[in-house]
A and B are shown apart, each in its own frame.
Chain A
Amino acid sequence: MRIEVRFKSIRTNMIIYFSLLVLLTVTVFLFFSIRFTKSNLMDNSEKNSRQLIEQVNFNIENYIDYMENISQVIMNNRDITGYLFDDGTETGEGLKEAFQTILHARTDIYNIAVLGDNGRYFINNGSDSLNLRARLKDKEWYQDAKTAESKILISSSHVQNLVKNDYKWVVTLSRGITNPATGRVEGLLVIDLNYDVINDLCESISLGNKGYVYILDRKGEIVYHPQQQLILSGVKKELLREVSASKTSLTHIDENGENKIYTPFHSQKTGWTIVGVNYTSELAGNEVAMKTMYTGAAFLLILLACLFAVFLSAKITKPIKQLQAAMKEVQEGKFQPVSIETAGEDEISSLTHSFNSMTERIDELMKKNSKEQAEKRKSELKALQSQINPHFLYNTLDSIIWLIETEDSEQAINMTSVLARFFRQAIGNSNIYVTVWQELEYTRNYLLIQQMRYKDKVAFDIRVDSEVMECAIVKLVLQPLVENALYHGLKYKTEQGNILIFGYRQDETVILKVMDDGVGMTKEALNCIFQKKTDQKHNGVGMKNIQDRLNMYYGPGYGLSVDSREGEGTTVTITIPYRQMEDVNEET
């Protein structure tokens, strides 16, 4: 099944896209900020460690410089050659004094010694004796010093066992001594610098918590390393030759998977390479704080943006929603309550404004239209109600003529006067409403005429409570019903037919019933009784016309109801509100 998420409302869409946009923007921004700051941090700390290392180098070179100066001072002392190469006449007192002075002044110098190839030597204050088992010729530093002839040479770090019963870690400065008699290098000056000096220098440098400094000599061998033993015994590995050959910083991942940055500095003077090692994870010490800060800020921004999106979308879509609700009402046909408050001058406001005036206009037109329609209906009905079946008039007049011919003048006069009364009532009154009594009189006149015409074929009786006689009723309602009863009910009956008119008050309504005992109606005929507008056959007023008029003037809940059984007769009931004439007159 494919899950399809569809966001339907504009507001949801706005929130989603706005939030996504902000998220994307902030994320990209964050990414580049962090990268930039990180590389900045890296650069700074590399610069910083380079400075520190240069400082270490500067200090070391200072020591070496100083030792060189000392060696120069000693070399200038004539007692040396005298002591080493003359035949034992020199006691060494001069040397002793010179060496003592230096050793007193500089505690970081362990030993000062001159060694002659002939076996003569003088060490420190002269009382220290040469370690006979020192095997100097096996020592690397000694071999190097010998091949360097009269040049100054700085050794790597080593244990000095030159002096008997003394084993110290030193860095040795050596320099060949020329025998003035032969002009050849036949002796060696040795100055031992306490290794602690270098050790302390390197240890005092802090490159983060874990970073460290180490020193390599020109052969790439370790002069100083905090974990020298681990490296020499193969427990750990360290970059040696690679670093001493490199002029720029190197990055390297060690056996624990830690990323380290090696910053080498090559000393011209000593030939050593001083290497600072930084852990990238530590440079990132600030990085963690920086990331936390940046990310926190980004969260805050996104949170604010999301809230903002929710509020903004609400603000924008609220009038749209109102408009939408209003349009729905209009769609359902209610124009009346549609009037939305508008504030501001934006597009939605002007849209709302247009909508408001449009609905107002439509409402106006609708009202006008329905009023016109009602007027038209009323005048139509007015025309209808004044319409009297012309056949009725012809037939009545024929009857009167026949009466005169038979010289029944009394009956003729009677009929003529009834007809005259009937017409006066029908034409003379232009009001819409008449009293029930007037309507009954009109109907009675009609019935009387018909009775006279058909002799005893029709009998009628009117039983209406006096209480309702003065009530108002729409004109020409009862008579057409009676006419219908005559022509549809009684006409097809062979024996005498009866028409009964009842009238009474029921609560706030007036009930009028027209009953006949004619042929009645089939169910089908009863069902379509309100459909025809006029009675085509008799040119009379149809049931529908009466019903429409009653509905129009009294509203729903009032009007006609018809009950009929085939062969038994029909009852038509009129229900109208109980109202006096005074209450309805002004309505016309």
Chain B
Amino acid sequence: MKKHKNALLGILFLTLAVSFLSGVFLLDEFGEKKTVKIVFIPKVQDKTNDFWMSMISGAKSAGKEYQANLVILAPDEENDYETQKRYIEEAVKMKPDAIALAPIRYSEMTDCVKQVTDAGIKLILIDSKLDQNLEETYIGTDNRNAGLQMGQKMRDYVGPDTKIAVVSHVKGSSTAIEREEGLREGLGEDQSKIKMVLYSNSDYNQAYEKTIELMKTNPDITLIAGLNLYSTVGVARAIREMNLSKKVHVVGFDNDIEGIQYLEEGIIDTLIVQKPFNMGYIGIQTAVESVRGKKPDKNIYCDTEVITADNIYTDENQKLLFPF
């Protein structure tokens, strides 16, 4: 009985000591967060592709800041969706907390992506969506809003006799539909001036050839909108070659060095530019926060910037247009 009492007292004191000390000194350690493991699968990693390099460096920046264990698996070519599917399977085997994916195809890889959510891994979609709603959240450009920005800007170039042509990219793709809808809304009543919509199928040459053909058959067109980089650059090449830059206004989407040169030269009047660095950063940031239990919004949009020849070299824009 006595012995038990002593043992009990001892235990009582130890418990007291342990709880007291941990209470005082380990309080801030409770906030210590565990390392989150994330696999990021962009569409491509290619030093010449500024858009994706910028997104990847944004992702890395967030990875460093949030001390995430970030693995990047990227195909060498932007259309290689088979490789991307293989990377998705590989990523699932690595058992990360979250996978951030920029799917190359809208519907062909949905089944493959299902493995991610089936394995209980959080799926974050960046830049592009899938035909099924599998993701925790989507981070990308609000294409409709970007189209709206473009449409509103285009009204600067609309006169009474203006006739508009739209060179879209892939017919039926979500971005093409949303951007065109936004563009028409931005134009308002001037949308009646749209005479035709062409599709470049994301190919410089098709865009170029279709523009040459268009200008030959419809020489009264004075405003052309390119809905992605391929369409825009293709159109600009054609206009430059046909020496129509004085007569035809070109507005476009996305940027590369060629596009910016056309902007400086005055062939392209306006570019709507996305913010891939921010997308990559916010994508990984959201993934980390989501793993740590913060419920993200269903869609997180990164805004777009309207670039004209006058504001290329502002502090903000030169960093956006010329990543290093």
Residues of A within 8 A of B (CB): 12, 15-16, 19, 23, 27, 30-31, 34, 131, 133-134, 138-139, 158-159, 161, 165, 167, 169, 195-196, 199, 209-210, 221-222, 226-230, 232-233, 235, 288, 291, 294-295, 298-299, 302-303, 306-307, 310
Q: Which residues of chain A come closer than 8 Å to B6, judged between CB atoms? A: 15, 310
Q: Which residues of chain A come closer than 8 Å to B320, judged between CB atoms? A: 229, 232-233
Q: State the CA gap A372–B64 with chains docked (Å).
A: 102
Task: For chain B, give the interface size range.
Answer: 35 or more
Q: Which residues of chain B come closer than 8 Å to A294, judged between CB atoms? A: 25
With contact pairs A235-B278, A306-B14 given, residues A291 and B315 touching in the complex (Cβ less than 8 Å):
no
Check B322 for interface membership: any CB of A closer than 8 A.
Answer: yes
Q: State the CA gap A455–B99 with chains docked (Å).
A: 138
Q: State the CA gap A222–B26 with chains docked (Å).
A: 39
Contact sample, A vs B, 17 pairs, CB 8 Å cutoff: A27-B21, A31-B25, A139-B313, A159-B318, A159-B322, A169-B322, A196-B324, A209-B64, A222-B315, A227-B281, A233-B303, A235-B278, A235-B281, A291-B25, A299-B18, A306-B17, A310-B6
Lowest 5 A-B CB distances belong to which pairs? A232-B316, A229-B277, A133-B264, A159-B318, A159-B322
Do the beta carbons of A229 and B25 come within 8 Å of each other?
no
Q: Which residues of chain A come closer than 8 Å to B18, judged between CB atoms? A: 299
**CB of A11 to closest CB in B, whole Å:** 8
Q: State the CA gap A420–B24 with chains docked (Å).
A: 107
Q: Which residues of chain B come closer than 8 Å to A167, judged between CB atoms? A: 257, 260, 322
Q: Which residues of chain B come closer than 8 Å to A310, judged between CB atoms? A: 6, 9-10
Check B265 for interface membership: any CB of A closer than 8 A.
Answer: yes
Q: Which residues of chain B come closer than 8 Å to A295, judged between CB atoms? A: 21-22, 25-26
Check B161 for interface membership: any CB of A closer than 8 A.
Answer: no
Mark B295-323 against chain A: 1 for CB-CB distance below 8 A, else 0: 00000000101000000010110111111
CB-based A-B contact count at 8 angstroms: 111
Do the beta carbons of B17 and A15 come within 8 Å of each other?
no
Q: Which residues of chain B come closer than 8 Å to A19, judged between CB atoms? A: 13, 17
Check B163 for interface membership: any CB of A closer than 8 A.
Answer: no
**CB of A213 to closest CB in B, whole Å:** 13
Q: Which residues of chain A come closer than 8 Å to B67, judged between CB atoms? A: 209-210
Closest B residue to A138 using CB positions: B313
Question: Given A228-B319, A232-B315, A233-B305, 7 more contacts at CB 8 Å?
Answer: A134-B264, A227-B65, A233-B303, A235-B281, A291-B29, A306-B10, A310-B10
Q: State the CA gap A235–B26 with chains docked (Å).
A: 33
Do the beta carbons of A161 and B282 come within 8 Å of each other?
no
**CB of B55 to closest CB in A, whole Å:** 11
Q: Which residues of chain B come closer than 8 Å to A30, judged between CB atoms? A: 21, 25
Partner of B17, one of A139, A232, A302: A302
Q: Which residues of chain B come closer than 8 Å to A15, judged between CB atoms? A: 6, 9-10, 13
Within 8 A of A (CB), among B1-32: 5-6, 9-10, 13-14, 16-18, 20-22, 24-26, 29, 32
Q: State the CA gap A23–B13 with chains docked (Å).
A: 9
Q: Which residues of chain B come closer than 8 Å to A209, judged between CB atoms? A: 64, 67
With contact pairs A133-B264, A310-B10 given, residues A232 and B29 touching in the complex (Cβ less than 8 Å):
no
Q: State the CA gap A235–B319 with chains docked (Å).
A: 14
Closest B residue to A18 using CB positions: B13
**CB of B312 to closest CB in A, whole Å:** 8
Do the beta carbons of A27 and B318 come within 8 Å of each other?
no
Check B107 for interface membership: any CB of A closer than 8 A.
Answer: no
Q: State the CA gap A303–B281 with chains docked (Å).
A: 49
**CB of B83 to closest CB in A, whole Å:** 28
Q: State the CA gap A370–B271 with chains docked (Å).
A: 126
Closest A residue to B7 using CB positions: A310
Q: Which residues of chain A come closer than 8 Å to B316, judged between CB atoms? A: 229, 232-233
Q: Which residues of chain B come closer than 8 Å to A229, judged between CB atoms? A: 54, 58, 275, 277-278, 316, 319-320, 323
Q: State the CA gap A16–B278 with chains docked (Å).
A: 60
Closest B residue to A19 using CB positions: B13
Closest B residue to A254 using CB positions: B65
Closest B residue to A22 using CB positions: B17
Q: State the CA gap A222–B275 with chains docked (Å).
A: 19
Closest B residue to A291 using CB positions: B25
Partner of A299, one of B17, B64, B319: B17
Do the beta carbons of B315 and A31 come within 8 Å of each other?
no
With contact pairs A15-B9, A133-B265 given, residues A235 and B282 touching in the complex (Cβ less than 8 Å):
yes
Check B162 for interface membership: any CB of A closer than 8 A.
Answer: no
Closest A residue to B265 using CB positions: A133
Check B132 for interface membership: any CB of A closer than 8 A.
Answer: no
**CB of A129 to closest CB in B, whole Å:** 14
Closest B residue to A302 using CB positions: B17
**CB of A158 to closest CB in B, whole Å:** 6
Q: State the CA gap A98–B313 with chains docked (Å).
A: 31
Q: State the CA gap A196–B322 with chains docked (Å).
A: 13
Do the beta carbons of A199 and B58 come within 8 Å of each other?
no
Do the beta carbons of A16 and B17 come within 8 Å of each other?
no
Mark B31-62 against chain A: 1 for CB-CB distance below 8 A, else 0: 01000000000000000000000100010010
Q: Which residues of chain B come closer than 8 Å to A12, judged between CB atoms? A: 5, 9
Do the beta carbons of A161 and B313 come within 8 Å of each other?
yes
Q: State the CA gap A16–B17 with chains docked (Å).
A: 12
Q: Which residues of chain B come closer than 8 Å to A230, judged between CB atoms? A: 58, 61, 277-278, 281
Q: Which residues of chain A come closer than 8 Å to B323, judged between CB atoms? A: 229
Q: State the CA gap A226–B318 with chains docked (Å).
A: 15
Q: Which residues of chain A come closer than 8 Å to B278, judged between CB atoms? A: 229-230, 233, 235
Q: Which residues of chain B come closer than 8 Å to A159, judged between CB atoms? A: 313, 318, 321-322
Closest A residue to B17 using CB positions: A302
Q: State the CA gap A221–B282 with chains docked (Å).
A: 24
Q: State the CA gap A291–B282 with chains docked (Å).
A: 34
Check B261 for interface membership: any CB of A closer than 8 A.
Answer: yes
Q: Which residues of chain A come closer than 8 Å to B14, judged between CB atoms? A: 302-303, 306
Closest B residue to A258 using CB positions: B65
Q: Which residues of chain B come closer than 8 Å to A16, judged between CB atoms? A: 9, 13
**CB of A128 to closest CB in B, whole Å:** 15
With contact pairs A288-B29, A299-B21 given, residues A232 and B319 touching in the complex (Cβ less than 8 Å):
yes
**CB of A259 to closest CB in B, whole Å:** 11
Q: State the CA gap A181–B5 with chains docked (Å).
A: 107
Q: State the CA gap A229–B318 with chains docked (Å).
A: 10
Closest B residue to A227 using CB positions: B61
Do the beta carbons of B16 and A23 come within 8 Å of each other?
yes
Q: State the CA gap A11–B5 with chains docked (Å).
A: 11
Closest A residue to B9 using CB positions: A15
Closest A residue to B277 using CB positions: A229
Q: State the CA gap A113–B323 with chains docked (Å).
A: 24
Do the beta carbons of B313 and A158 come within 8 Å of each other?
yes
**CB of B313 to closest CB in A, whole Å:** 6
**CB of B7 to closest CB in A, whole Å:** 9
**CB of A255 to closest CB in B, whole Å:** 11
Q: Which residues of chain B come closer than 8 Å to A138, judged between CB atoms? A: 313
Do the beta carbons of A306 and B13 come within 8 Å of each other?
yes
**CB of B323 to closest CB in A, whole Å:** 8
Closest B residue to A298 using CB positions: B21
Q: Which residues of chain A come closer than 8 Å to B58, judged between CB atoms? A: 229-230
Partner of A34, one of B20, B25, B313, B324: B25
With contact pairs A227-B281, A303-B14 given, residues A291 and B61 touching in the complex (Cβ less than 8 Å):
no
Q: State the CA gap A19–B12 with chains docked (Å).
A: 11
Q: Which residues of chain B come closer than 8 Å to A291, judged between CB atoms? A: 25-26, 29
Q: State the CA gap A482–B291 with chains docked (Å).
A: 114
Q: State the CA gap A310–B260 with chains docked (Å).
A: 83
Q: Which residues of chain A come closer than 8 Å to B21, judged between CB atoms? A: 27, 30, 295, 298-299
Closest B residue to A303 using CB positions: B14
Q: State the CA gap A233–B141 with chains docked (Å).
A: 14
Q: Which residues of chain B come closer than 8 Å to A222, judged between CB atoms? A: 315
**CB of A190 to closest CB in B, whole Å:** 16
Residue of A131, A134, A230 most packed against chain B (CB within 10 A): A230
Partner of A158, one of B9, B29, B257, B318: B318
Q: State the CA gap A306–B15 with chains docked (Å).
A: 12
Q: Which residues of chain B come closer than 8 Å to A169, judged between CB atoms? A: 322, 324
Partner of A195, one of B22, B264, B324: B324
